[in-house]
Structure 1
Amino acid sequence: MTPPPAQLQVLFGSPQGAVWLDKRGRVRWYNPAAQALLGQDLMGVSLSKLLSPYDASRRPVPREHSALAAEGAAQGLFALIHVDQRWFQVSCHPLGEGRLCLLADITDLEQQAMAYRTTLEVLSGLVRQEENLADLLRQVLETAVAVVPGCDAGSISLREGDSFRFVAQVGFDEALIGHFFPADLELLWYGEGETAWHLGRPRLIRGSEIQQRSAAQAGELAELLKKHGRVREIQASICVPVVLQGEVLATINLDNLRNPDGFPPEALPIAQAFGIQTAGLLYGQLARKSLTSQALTDPLTGLGNRRALEDAFPKLQAQAKRLGLPLTMLYWDMDGLKRLNDTQGHAAGDQALKRLADSLQAFSRQGDAAFRVGGDEFVSLHLNLPVSEAQELIERVRGNLQVRVSAGSAAIDPEMSLEEALFQTDAAMYRDKPRQR
């Protein structure tokens, strides 16, 4: 047996783990810090059986391929302790007739890097528009459950108005997905106050406190969590508000189902990293929706534009055919807009256009849609409105305006093109215009 070099004794009290390997790669000396890191008596053990290298794709390489066991390959090795999922950077240096290996615990850095890296991969999917938001959030959650130490299960809830909706789950029942619950109940579950909530601070609760907060949930939500959320099994729970510009857009809940102390200290900052990345993901989604909305919306009136009409017309036409309901198109033209602009200014003309748009929306029913297709021209589509009743609607709209509007109508059949429908209603509108004297 090769004796360890005497100079190793200077490393005995070092806070960094140090291990000396003989020619065969077996441990012949180690300091207390190494034993604390690796959690066992190391003497005579082949270090390559404890440490497995990790490749660029972050997938474990079989132990028999360990770089520590290969001649000349040990510099800068990332290794995974399989027992407790700790990460180490191992650097080896020739010393005497063997090698000195220094172990640095980089678990926090590696897990945070993995959190950022994997969520950035998800964000790239958003940029490529390959998946919808629910799928992206599910990927974020799956990664968080895999990466955050101590995590066994989790869920993501997305804010919609004054409610939250479950959009992703791991480790629970798929029946959770799609259920809505009031925003104040989510804030109650978070439990750290509105200031921390809007700052996106992660919180951790354990044991009986989980059951107390669960019991405070109201009616249907409480039953839902008991039946499908395994709430009675949760031993520790992290909640991360996903915040964008001070508003909570979603929450990430990560749960340990085995041990009240199952989340180590580094779990909170790593979970928060996922909250930050998810906020970026939601920002991208909202920005994309905003751009889409802008492309389809008239900026002055807020109605759909010609492009939006082209998108909506075949859908309403198909719906009318499927339901066996009439579909009527109305073409509207504001008389004398130029005169109004010339005499009272363009601000007055804009107000008149907005008033017409507001009136079209005010007298709309479910299934109706209105569009501004030109400077003073509007089109509205009315599902389940017979063309014989169109004049009554025209008069109601006119009665809400201070300027006269000409209007014409046509019944839309299932085979009619948008161009033909516009031609017929435009012709009817011109017949309605006041005759010049």
Structure 2
Amino acid sequence: MHATNEVATGHRMRPKTPERLRLATLVTIGVCATVIVTMLILLVLIDHFAATYAKQQAQERLQQLSWQMRDSMDRGMSRMIDHAQVIAELAPVRDGQNPAEIRRVFDSVNKNFPNYAWIGLTDIEGKVVAASRGLLEGVDVSQRPWFKGGEKQIFVGDYHPALLLEDKLPETEDRWRFVDVALPVTHSDGHYRGVLGIHLSWSWARGLVNSLLIPADRQYLVEVLVVRNDGVVMLGPDYLEESTIATTSLDLARTGSTGAVAEKWPDGRRYLTGYALTGTQARPGHPTLKWAILIRQPEEIALADFRDLQQQVLWVGGAIGVLLALIAVALARQLARPLDELSAAITQRKEGTAATIPVIDGYHEVHLLSRTLADMVGREQQHIGKLRTLNENLENLVRERTQEIEQKAQALEDALQQQLVIQDRLQESEAELRATLQNANDAFISMDQDGIIVDWNEQAEHLLGWTHNEAVGQSLAELVVPPAMREGYGKDFQHFLQTGQSNIINRRVELTALRRDGVEFPIELAVGCVARRKGYLFIAFLHDITERKLMQASLMGMALKDPLTDLPNRRALIQKLPESIARGARLGKPVAVLFLDLDGFKGVNDGYGHEAGDELLRTIAQRMIGAVRTTDTVARLAGDEFVVVLEMLNGDQDAMEVADKILQTLQQPFALSAATVSISASIGIAMHWPEDTTTPEQLITLADGAMYAAKKQGKNRAVAV
């Protein structure tokens, strides 16, 4: 029975030990989870800030384009109003009676400004008297908005389709659309004559878009939209033109603000849209049109570079995560190895093998456990165990230090690689910006707060004559600012650094610049500043406006000349006479005004025709110029009336002698193409002494009255008052 009990005891099954996770597995899971969570947080943060930065950069670019388009359209409308005012002041337009002569003036203007599709002059009833190319002459336009609006003041008509001119103008790829400018025209005597109307072709706006967008903008689908106040798209993609839109950017632009937004358009796509409103900075007295300028770009294209960076960050982050997970596995195995060794030794001793219990000094718990077990085996192995433990600790320490060095070296290499990627991105962005500035139509100059040039693009080299290498490092004032303006430039520059206020910086102004060859020329300048950690960086865009100034001077000269005799007209006389009076007052010399009216001119004009009359007036003008000094002024007021301004006189007798000389000159026969005629003249003389208070207008009136007195006394004489 005892044997039976032993057998039964020997075959008794031991309870099965439940399986548990090993320490290495637990450590690996914990470290991997920590790495994954950390990497996810870093990726989310990087993605967020990179997306915000990319969107901000794209929006700033679109906002800048909207500013440029707005300024270009405002300048174009202002220039059109200026041209209309100059044309309305031309003598043939104000007083001319020959439609062919007025038409020649309009055709000349149309030739110089081809965007003016039609220029016309109406009478007071609204009938077209003369027009460029003769279009609509004789047509009643009294019901057209531009005629009604331009009867009393300058009128600007909004974008509209062509009605009367649709079938008369040449066929083009685009339908004819106009923007109108109209204003009242008065005769030289102040009486209302009619309305001058100009139709600006909408191709002008398309030309502005073509000059604004560089090839890179078109490649990346940047689109310009000009929207009327009622939401109708006047300029934009073909499928949107003439349609009505309603977007957030349009609502913001109507408030007069500028900026950029991300929004969803009616076509279902999301765009980044820059917006601005024209007419917010109009000059006094100039009517304006409130057009919304929208510059849009598909959001996926605007953020394409960011998406590429996002994918690269995900790949790099994933690779780093895998690497850290492998390191975690290795570290977990390293931490669990002492316990595995101790477990193996205990198992061997349990199975009867004379295995030595190692004393492990990896960390406190293992060391304490191994030491306790080693003491149980026997003190005789204590010294050997200590020596082995020291040797193992030394190896472990070297191994751990080596692994730490390798890990740190790998981390440093990864950080350097990431830094190189970021540096490459920054260099690409800098190269793109530099390429944009180098190919800009305007000259670009940047300088630091000491006025030293930092950058200088190719257009600046062409405009100012200095190469990039010659200009960089030099003072802007010494290279570009004319000597007479340098003191004022320096004061304004220092005033801005001290107060943040300037008459030039953050404004668009017209100034004079100095070229390398010493020639001064007019420019339009826009200067902005960027605050940096140390001081400011100033950025300037400038372009030559010499042609614009010459055109303005030419038009002004035409407005001051009598087209028939080439003498100064009434307007020039009104400007000249006060200057002559002021000079006489400074020098203590009297000034004389001679008012001359021809006797018998009407008979020549009626008997031989207007062409003979015009030839006679031109010949009389030349004789009068030959009868006075070069310092004196001969002007034609209107018809057969002339005025002579005499300066540097000694008294009444000098004026009377000049008048007698003119009368003798005019008494000589005139050999005209039609016949030889003789006429005379009646002259009225009015004196202005330095102490007199008589105004120029009163002086002309007195001379006019003296002329009528000369006629009453028998004509062909001079009478002084």
* Structure 1 length-normalised TM: 0.44
Bigger relative CO (Cα 8 Å, ≥ 6 apart) = 1
Kindly indicate which of the two structures has a greater share of residues assigned to helix. Answer: 2
Which entry has the higher C-alpha Rg, 1 or 2?
Answer: 2
